Amino acid sequence: MSSDGARRRDVTVADVAKAAQVSKAQAARALGNYGAVSDDVRERVLAAAEELEYRPNELARSMNTGKSHTIGVVVGDIENPHFGLATRGITDTAKKSGFNVILINTDENTAAEVDAVRVLLDKRVDGLIVAPASSVETQHLRRVHESGRPLVLLDRSADGLGLETVAVDMATISYESTRYLLDAGHRRIAFISTLRTDVEYSEGTRLDSSQISDRLEGMRRAFSDARCEFPGDLVRLNAGDAGSIRNLTREVLLGADPATAVVASDGLIALSVVEAIQEMGLRIPDDVSFLMYDDFAWTRLTTPPLTVVAQPVYDMGAAAASALIRQIEGRPPLAPAPEFHATLVRRGSVGALPGSEPPHSASSSLSPSFRTSAVP
Amino acid sequence: MSSDGARRRDVTVADVAKAAQVSKAQAARALGNYGAVSDDVRERVLAAAEELEYRPNELARSMNTGKSHTIGVVVGDIENPHFGLATRGITDTAKKSGFNVILINTDENTAAEVDAVRVLLDKRVDGLIVAPASSVETQHLRRVHESGRPLVLLDRSADGLGLETVAVDMATISYESTRYLLDAGHRRIAFISTLRTDVEYSEGTRLDSSQISDRLEGMRRAFSDARCEFPGDLVRLNAGDAGSIRNLTREVLLGADPATAVVASDGLIALSVVEAIQEMGLRIPDDVSFLMYDDFAWTRLTTPPLTVVAQPVYDMGAAAASALIRQIEGRPPLAPAPEFHATLVRRGSVGALPGSEPPHSASSSLSPSFRTSAVP
DNA sequence: AATCGATGTGAGTCCGGTCTCAATCGTAGG
DNA sequence: CCTACGATTGAGACCGGACTCACATCGATT
């Protein structure tokens, strides 16, 4: 019932103590629910706190407990639904354990990531979840780890450092989906990714991103197993804004030996690729087959619905958060580390090689062959 | 070059001071770049700081400056691309001014929102951006405002409190788009929203959300201007998960006097509605017309591409952030408050009333009539 | 009745910075 | 040569809680 309008200074334990006629120490004990406090004192303090609308200053509390109950999350771009969903998994899990989340975007820029990590460390977050822009430039992550601050990686790994990482086995799913395309008769398969890199892609290039490396390796292995030549010339990295993706799409589809199938590395790219294909007047899957990573709801609404690699993104975010919290609370990591598997969701955007009937697919009918392909 | 591996306690100014052989005060001055410090001392301190890898504790700093350089963002659901995009606008703007963002989801639950606000206040954020779940239950927001803490609302307003709010004029755009549907001959227009409410919708009901209220009011006005009866029976609130949205869609499309057009209140709903329509074997726009709020890239990929109400979501997020930062820094709000307008993007999902040719559209051809409809 | 352990309680320190204040140093003006 | 004013510098208070420690208090034990 105390209505004193706008007040400037916050109410502190000292104020409450004075109002309750007890020492600051006793008030703190009653409010913080620790130590020994008589019922009488507790009641008076609580009443005074209520009356004054006392609220503890978490900053001060953090100062001498050393715990901020805050975790830092560093992702490429929260606007990307992939990260939106992962973040949701993280925040939901964090909230359950009483943690808050500070979010920073890096736009997949390592410098921004280094900065983000430093800022979060300065703010004394209890731990970090990072989707590293690079799997190679990881000194800043190593430093975090060595300083003993809990850290969990998401989506991509970092070479060498023994960091807990939550990611799917990209090489395997990439192998499987490439195999699927191969079975449909495709040999000229393009791969388009936003990964920024200076080097031109070719066999053996160690790419900056474990995720993309693994995918390419999976593709390569599938081609090799099928005794086909891997079309390295159709790998397009450094895809940027919508316009550049359109151009890349045109390139791979209009060249001398054009792609008959296109794989989009994420949902954002997929959007522009499909649009470009439609603009070119090509039909999916009759003229060109299409496959993308991440299964968003809208992929079921296109005509035809799109064939995708579905990743348990929300669950991975949630798992990253609980792993981090385990670290923070000093508990050992989950006994058998949870594994996450991507699955190929076959819908309508992948068809048989246009122009000719499936060439030498006599050896095996399409989907059974795929279904039984056990990969180690 | 100091490589002492894992260290426990952080390096403090005191440590740096000792290493540089100066007083704590001088070290602090040199590091904090304030007060008078001789070149000699500054150099020694900076060198020592470098050597020891000193990093200031922002918590401690915040404690006595009273500024945490952190803002709290409270949204319904970061997984919803609408908020993803708005959040991106917020974080980008915040970063430019040196602010970080703590993100909390409420799932449009007021209790969770009250809690979120309290937590953020306890953490002493410098200001808050809230997309309020309810425009009616706003005591917690009033309290924040009265306590003098900067606060900006996003998307929805709060009755009565004179809070700075960044939102589009929903009534107007709703009027316009309803007019568009009416011009196409539709009279039975369904509206589906996730808004949770206990009351059954009917004329005059004051809904919990200003946003939805305004949209319905715009629709109502358009119907009234067109001398048609507003189909209140086709307003469906409380849409929840995908399943329930499917059911609601079926209801309005299968009743005795079914809807000929459906308006989806946001992108998530739209997904399920379109899916339900496809499942029912109905074609858009031949059998049923469709219009949705928010213009996501995927809406161009469906067949036909979807007609949408586009909102400048990113810009609104950015504007909310700069408005908040102005408040925090004690600067006056932008002279003419920036206004944001939604626009109707006519693509292919709205067609003429099925079965009959446009009935009495003789009065005006479709789009000119719409284009010139100036609404106050 | 003297002693012991389990509470209760208040004074005061600490966390890691910022900032005030008084003391010191240097030297330019008189 | 002496004084005064600005530049430097160090000691210590302070932000708002958490927590240590010494000092009661009090019923229970022997």
Q: Which band of pLDDT confidence, cut at 50, 70 and 90, is reported for residue B354?
A: low
Q: Which band of pLDDT confidence, cut at 50, 70 and 90, is reported for residue B120?
A: very high
**A283 is near strand D: CB distance < 7 Å:** no
Q: Is the pLDDT of residue A112 over 70?
A: yes
Q: Are residues B162 and B183 in the same domain?
A: no
The answer to whether the CB atoms of A78 and B88 lie below 8 A apart is yes
Question: Cβ distance A86 to A129 under 8 Å?
Answer: no
Q: Looking at the complex, report in whole angstroms how far the Cα of residue B341 sits from the nearest Cα belonging to chain A.
A: 21
Mean pLDDT of chain B: 89
> What percent of chain A clears pLDDT 70, i.e. is strictly above it?
92
Is A6 a domain residue?
no
* Interface contact B303, partner A, CB < 8 A: yes
Q: Are residues A203 and A140 in the same domain?
A: no
**Integer distance in angstroms from CA B64 to C1' D14?**
8
Q: Are residues B230 and B357 in the same domain?
A: yes
- Of the candidates A73, A80, A88, A268, the one whose C-alpha atom is nearest the C-alpha of residue B75 is A88
What integer pLDDT is reported at residue B92 of this predicted model? 98
Q: Is the pLDDT of residue B169 over 60?
A: yes
Q: Which band of pLDDT confidence, cut at 50, 70 and 90, is reported for residue A1?
A: very low
Q: Is the pLDDT of residue A7 over 60?
A: no
Residues of the domain holding B281: 170-310+346-371
**A52 is near strand D: CB distance < 7 Å:** no
Mean pLDDT of chain A: 89
Q: Which residue has the higher pLDDT, B362 or B162?
A: B162
Q: What is the mean pLDDT of residues B218-228?
A: 96
Q: Are residues B242 and B121 in the same domain?
A: no
- Structure-token pair, residue B55: 């990093």
A97-101, B105-109, B280-284, B368-372 — which is least confidently predicted?
Answer: B368-372
Q: What is the mean pLDDT of residues A218-244?
A: 94
Put simply, the chain B residues between 64 and 83 with a CB less than 8 A from any chain A CB are 68, 70, 77-81
The answer to whether the CB atoms of A91 and B81 lie below 8 A apart is no
Q: Are residues A175 and A161 in the same domain?
A: no
What integer pLDDT is reported at residue B257 of this predicted model? 94
Q: Is the pLDDT of residue A132 over 60?
A: yes
Q: Which band of pLDDT confidence, cut at 50, 70 and 90, is reported for residue B159?
A: confident
Q: Which residue has the higher pLDDT, B358 or B322?
A: B322
What integer pLDDT is reported at residue A369 of this predicted model? 34
Is B49 a domain residue?
yes
Angle between helices A313-328 and A81-96 (to 10 degrees): 40
What integer pLDDT is reported at residue A356 of this predicted model? 54
Give the span between the Cα atoms of A226 and A223, in whole angstroms.
5
Q: What is the mean pLDDT of residues A90-101?
A: 98
What integer pLDDT is reported at residue A197 of this predicted model? 82
Type of residue found at B370: F
Q: Are residues B130 and B34 in the same domain?
A: no
For residue A21, what is the DSSP state?
A: T
The answer to whether the CB atoms of A88 and B104 lie below 8 A apart is no
Q: Are residues B37 and B104 in the same domain?
A: no
**List of A residues 102-131 with CB within 7 A of strand D:** none
What integer pLDDT is reported at residue A199 of this predicted model? 77
- Of the candidates A270, A345, A275, A273, the one whose C-alpha atom is nearest the C-alpha of residue A307 is A345
Is B363 a domain residue?
yes
Give the span between the Cα atoms of B227 and B90, in whole angstroms.
42
For strand D, which nucleotides have at least one atom less than 7 Å from a protein CB?
7-12, 14-20
Q: What is the mean pLDDT of residues A232-240?
A: 91
Probe site for chain B from A73, A96, A123 (most B CB atoms < 10 A) = A123
Q: What is the mean pLDDT of residues B171-186?
A: 97
Quote the strand ranges of chain B, DSSP E. 70-75, 100-105, 127-130, 151-154, 164-166, 189-192, 235-236, 261-264, 289-293, 307-310, 343-345
- Of the candidates B35, B99, B107, B38, the one whose C-alpha atom is nearest the C-alpha of residue B70 is B99
Q: Are residues A32 and A73 in the same domain?
A: no
Nearest residue of chain A to residue B55 (CA atoms) = A122
What integer pLDDT is reported at residue B8 of this predicted model? 57
B-chain CB neighbours of A300 within 8 Å are 275
- Of the candidates B271, B231, B268, B238, the one whose C-alpha atom is nearest the C-alpha of residue B253 is B231
Question: Cβ distance A189 to A181 under 8 Å?
Answer: yes
Q: Are residues A143 and A176 in the same domain?
A: no
Is A263 a domain residue?
yes
Question: Cβ distance A194 to A269 under 8 Å?
Answer: yes
In CATH, what number is assigned to the domain containing residue A127? 3.40.50.2300
Residue closest to sugar C1' of D16 by CA: A60
**B25 is near strand C: CB distance < 7 Å:** yes
Q: Smallest Cβ distance to A7: which of B85, B101, B147?
A: B147
Q: What is the mean pLDDT of residues A88-112?
A: 97
pTM over cut 0.85: yes
A-chain CB neighbours of B87 within 8 Å are 78-79, 103
Q: Is the pLDDT of residue A3 over 50?
A: no
**Integer distance in angstroms from CA A46 to C1' D24?**
24
Query: How many domains does chain A fold into?
Result: 3
Residue A60, CA distances (Å) to A12, A53, A98, B61 in order: 11, 18, 17, 11
Q: Which nucleotide is nearest to B38 (CA to C1')?
A: D8
Three-state secondary structure call for residue B342: coil
Residue A33, CA distances (Å) to A25, A283, B24 in order: 12, 67, 35
Residue B102, CA distances (Å) to A313, B115, B258 in order: 21, 14, 45
What integer pLDDT is reported at residue A9 of this predicted model? 74
Give the span between the Cα atoms of B166 and B318, in whole angstroms.
10
Q: Are residues A178 and A273 in the same domain?
A: yes
Q: Which band of pLDDT confidence, cut at 50, 70 and 90, is reported for residue A155?
A: very high
Give the span between the Cα atoms of A182 and A189, in whole angstroms.
9
Q: Are residues B24 and B91 in the same domain?
A: no
* Interface contact A160, partner B, CB < 8 A: no
**Integer distance in angstroms from CA A191 to C1' C25?**
72
What integer pLDDT is reported at residue B214 of this predicted model? 93
**Integer distance in angstroms from CA B25 to C1' C24?**
16
Put simply, the chain B residues between 222 and 281 with a CB less than 8 A from any chain A CB are 268, 271-272, 274-275, 278
Three-state secondary structure call for residue B254: helix
> What percent of chain B clears pLDDT 70, i.e. is strictly above it?
92
Q: Are residues A183 and A321 in the same domain?
A: no
